[in-house]
Amino acid sequence: DVKVTQSSRYLVKRTGEKVFLECVQDMDHENMFWYRQDPGLGLRLIYFSYDVKMKEKGDIPEGYSVSREKKERFSLILESASTNQTSMYLCASNIGTGDYGYTFGSGTRLTVV
Amino acid sequence: EDQVTQSPEALRLQEGESSSLNCSYTVSGLRGLFWYRQDPGKGPEFLFTLYSAGEEKEKERLKATLTKKESFLHITAPKPEDSATYLCAVRRDSTLTFGKGTMLLVSP
C-alpha cells in the first residue's frame, strides 16, 4: 500500500519557535503538497513541489517556507510560529499524471501557545 | 477564480435512509472532480475521480455523478460506519481546490 507519513501526530510549540513538519512518501511520486485545515475554512494550499528543489506558493504561503532536498521528503517550516498557525497540517503527494488523485498523510495537529 | 461549494454543511440520517450530497463548482476547464472521505483526526481518503459530464462511479453504497456545474454523492441505505466528512475538490492546473465538506452522521 502506498504511504505518506507525517512525522508527528501532535505538536505543541511556543510562539516564536522555528517549527519543522516532515513528510515522507514511499511511492516515487513527483508532486508533494502541504495544506492546512481549519474548521469553517476547509483545506487551504500552503505550498507545493513538483520536483526536487522546486517549490511553488499556494494560496496562503505567508509565514511558511518549504524544503524538498530529496524526492521522497517534503518539509514545511514555520519560521517563527504564531498562535494563528495553530491548525491541522496535511501533507499529500501524487504521481503528477493520470488520475491525479492525492494520497494524504494522517495529519499533524499543531498547537502554538 | 475557482470555487467549490458543498451542501449541506451537515447531514444527519437514520441507518437505511438514502440521500445525496451536493458539490457545485466554478472552474475554467475542469480537469477532474474528486471525492474524498475524512474520518475525525485523520487525513482524507480518496474515493472517486470524475472527468466529464454524465460520468458515474460507484463504490459499495456510494455513487458519484457529474454534470457541467455540479457533482452529487449519492448514499444508498447508509450504515453508521459511513459517518464521516465528505470532501469534494476540483483540479486547477497542478493542484486541487477543496470545498469545505459535508459532515455526515448516520444513526443506528
When pLDDT is averaged across residues A56-70 and rounded to a whole number, the result is 96
Answer yes or no: do B87 and A42 touch at CB < 8 A: yes
What CATH number is given to the structural domain containing A78? 2.60.40.10
Number of domains making up chain B: 1
* Cα torsion A93, B37, A12, A39: sign: positive
User: Looking at chain A, which residue has its C-alpha nearest residue B5?
Assistant: A42
Confidence band, pLDDT 50/70/90 cuts, at residue A101 = confident
Average pLDDT of span B27-39: 91
What is the pLDDT at residue B95? 87
User: How close does chain A come to B50, measured CA to CA in Å?
Assistant: 9
> How many domains does the structure of chain A reveal?
1
Could you tell me the residue range of the domain that residue B29 belongs to? 3-107
pLDDT at B28 over 90: no
B36 has which bridge partners?
Answer: B46, B87
User: pLDDT tens for residues B52-95?
Assistant: 999 999 999 999 999 999 999 999 999 999 999 999 999 877 78
User: What residues make up the domain containing A47?
Assistant: 4-112
Q: Specify the pLDDT at position A95.
A: 83
Partner-chain contact A92 B32, CB within 8 Å: no
Q: Which residue of B has its CA nearest to A97?
A: B94
Closest alpha carbon to A10 in A104, A103, A76, A88: A88
